Amino acid sequence: MECAPLRFNIRDVPVSSRRRALHELREQGLLPIEPLKGCAPHVDLVKWRLSGISVLCGTFAGVRQGGEPGQAGDELSFGINVSGHSVAGLRGREVAIGAGDAFAIAPDAGPFSVLRAAPARMIGIRVPRRGGPAVGGWFGAAPMRLVPAQTPALRLMTGYVRDALSEPVLSSAPLADAVAAHLMELIALSLDPASAAAPPASLNGVRAARLAAVKADIARHLTDGTLSAAALAARHRISVRYLHKLFEDEELTYSQYVLGQRLALACRRLRQPGFATRTISSIASDAGFGDLSYFNRAFRRRYGVTPSEARRSPAV
C-alpha cells in the first residue's frame, strides 16, 4: 500500500480566504500554523504520517508555528531550519535558529512556538514518547535544545529527509516504516553528545542517510566522466570499502548504479525533442560515457534496442 502525504500551497487559496483557511486547518488539527498580523502568509508544504511519526516539510513566511490544538504534550518535537532564520520560543525563552540549525523540544515541555516572519525552509518531525527515542539526559534542566548546523548527524538527517521524501508517494508500507525508523534513529544520534559528531557507521539510519547523500552526489556529477568511487568517498569522508558496502545493501554495485543512472539519462535525452539535433555520440559523451561502442552495447543490454531505435520509438 502506498503512503501519500497531505499537500498544501496557499497559492491555491483565494487571497481573501487565506488567513481564514490557515485558522481552520489549525483548528482541525491538520496544520499547527497561524498567520502573523500585518504579514502576508506564505505556506507551501507537504505533511507525511509515517508509522506513528509526522514529518512536515515546506517553505513558510509570515506565520507562527506551534503545537496542534488539543495536543497532549507527549511528543518529542524536532525542527530543522533548512534555510532562512527563525525564532523558537518556550517558557519565555527564545532561541535564534540559523540556516541549517535544528531545535528539539522535550516531551511535556509545554506550549512552544516558532516564529517565521521571513521566508524559511523547514523540516518538522514529531515523535511520540512511546516508541520514539529515549530522551535520557539530552535536555537536562533546559527542555529546549539547539543542535548546530555543523553537527554531522544532523546534516545526515537533513539530506536523508530531502531525498527519502522527495517522491510524490512512498511505494509501500514497509518503506514508510523504514523511513520512520531511520528518522527516529537519526534524531537520537543528533541529540546524543556521544554520537552526534561521529555517527556510528553500522547503524541502519546512518547507512540509509549516507547512501541517500552519495546517490544525490552521483546525480549532481553524473555527466562527469571522471566520477569515481574514490572521489565520492573522499567528499563524504568515508572509506571506499564502506561506500561499496552501502550499495551492496541494495544488492548492486556502485558501478552498476552509476551505469544505470547514466543510461537512463541518455535514454531520456534521446527521446526529448530538445535533443533531436544532437548526435548519439554527443548525448553519450554528455551522459558520462567516454567510449561510444561501450555505450551502444550497454544501452542495448539494458533496453533491448539500440540508441537509434530508442530515438525513433515512442517508449522504451
pLDDT tens, position by position, 166-223: 877 676 788 888 999 999 999 999 998 888 888 888 899 999 999 999 999 999 999 8
Whether 245 is in a domain gets the answer no
Position 134 scores a pLDDT of 66
Query: What is the C-alpha to C-alpha distance for residues 43 and 8, in angstroms, rounded to an integer?
Result: 7
**Strand 86-90's sheet: what is its strand order?**
33-35, 63-66, 112-116, 86-90, 93-97
Comparing 209 with 224, the larger pLDDT belongs to: 209
Over residues 237-250, mean pLDDT? 92
What integer pLDDT is reported at residue 72 of this predicted model?
45
User: What integer pLDDT is reported at residue 151 of this predicted model?
Assistant: 93
Mean pLDDT value across residues 231-250: 93
The per-residue pLDDT for 315 is 57
Residues 77 and 192 both lie in one domain: yes
Residue 259 has pLDDT above 60, yes or no: yes
Q: What is the mean pLDDT of residues 77-101?
A: 93
101 and 196 together in one domain: yes
Whether residue 286 is found in the same domain as residue 141: no
Q: To the nearest whole number, what is the mean pLDDT of the chain?
A: 88
122 lies in the same domain as 270? no
Helix (H) or strand (E) holding 265: helix 254-271
pLDDT band at 136 (very low <50, low <70, confident <90, very high): low
Q: What is the CATH number of the domain that holds 282?
A: 1.10.10
Tens of pLDDT, residue by residue over 18-57, are: 888 888 888 887 778 888 988 888 899 898 988 878 898 9
CB-CB contact of 113 with 88 (8 Å):
yes
Assign 121 a pLDDT band (cuts: 50, 70, 90): very high
Do 23 and 171 fall within a single domain? yes
Which DSSP category does 273 fall into? G
Asked whether residue 97 carries a pLDDT value surpassing 50, the answer given is yes
Q: Where in the chain does DSSP place strands (E)?
A: 6-9, 33-35, 42-50, 53-61, 63-66, 75-83, 86-90, 93-97, 102-105, 112-116, 120-128, 144-147
Q: How many CB atoms lie within 10 A of CB 200?
A: 13
CA 270 to chain centroid, in Å, comes to 30
Tell me: do 292 and 162 sit in the same domain: no
Q: How far apart are CA 62 and CA 43, in angstroms?
A: 9
Is the residue at 280 inside a domain? yes
3-class state of residue 167 by DSSP: coil
The three cell numbers locating residue 111: 506550549
Task: Give the bridge partners for 298, in sequence order.
Answer: none
Calpha distance 179→173 (Å, rounded): 10
Q: Considering Cα of 11, then 14, then 19, then 20, what sign does the dihedral take? A: negative
Q: Are residues 164 and 302 in the same domain?
A: no
Mark which of 143, 171, 206 sits at the end of a domain: 206
What is the Cα Rg of the chain in Å? Answer: 23
Laid out side by side, the sheet with 144-147 consists of 6-9, 42-50, 53-61, 120-128, 75-83, 102-105, 144-147
Where does a domain end: 175, 206, 237? Answer: 206
Q: Which residue has the higher pLDDT, 78 or 166?
A: 78
Cα–Cα distance for residue pair 224/212, rounded to 1 Å: 19
Supply φ then ψ for residue 98, to 5 degrees.
-90, 180
Q: Are residues 35 and 164 in the same domain?
A: yes
* pLDDT for the residue 138: 74
Q: What is the pLDDT of residue 137?
A: 67
Diameter of the chain measured on Cα atoms: 68
Q: What is the pLDDT of residues 273-310, one digit of tens each?
A: 889 899 999 999 999 998 999 999 999 999 999 999 99
CB 123 within 8 A of CB 82: yes
Residues 198 and 262 in one domain: no
**Cα 248 off chain centre by:** 22
What range defines the domain where residue 193 resides?
A: 6-206
34 with 142, same domain: the answer is yes
Predicted local confidence at residue 135, as pLDDT = 64
Residue 215: inside a domain, yes or no? Answer: no
Residue 67 confidence (pLDDT) above 70: no
Q: Quote the pTM value.
A: 0.83
Cβ contact 262:222 at 8 Å = yes
Would you say the C-alpha torsion 190, 191, 195, 197 has a positive or negative sign?
positive
Tell which residue, 248, 247, 299, has the closest CA to residue 270.
Answer: 299
Q: Is 287 a domain residue? A: yes
Over 80: is that where the pLDDT of 123 sits? yes
Burial class from Cβ neighbours inside 10 Å (0-12, 13-18, 19+) for residue 238 reads middle
In this structure, are 39 and 161 located in the same domain? Answer: yes
Residue 88: other Cβ atoms inside 10 A: 24
pLDDT band at 69 (very low <50, low <70, confident <90, very high): very low
Q: Rounded to an integer, what distance in angstroms lies between the CA atom of residue 95 and that of residue 145?
A: 9
Confidence of residue 102 (pLDDT cuts 50, 70, 90): very high
pLDDT above 80 (res 83):
yes
Can you give the CATH number for the domain in which 26 is found?
2.60.120.10
How many domains does one find in the chain?
2
Q: Identify the three-state secondary structure at position 89.
A: strand
Looking at the structure, do residues 189 and 306 belong to the same domain, yes or no? no
Residue 82: pLDDT above 50?
A: yes
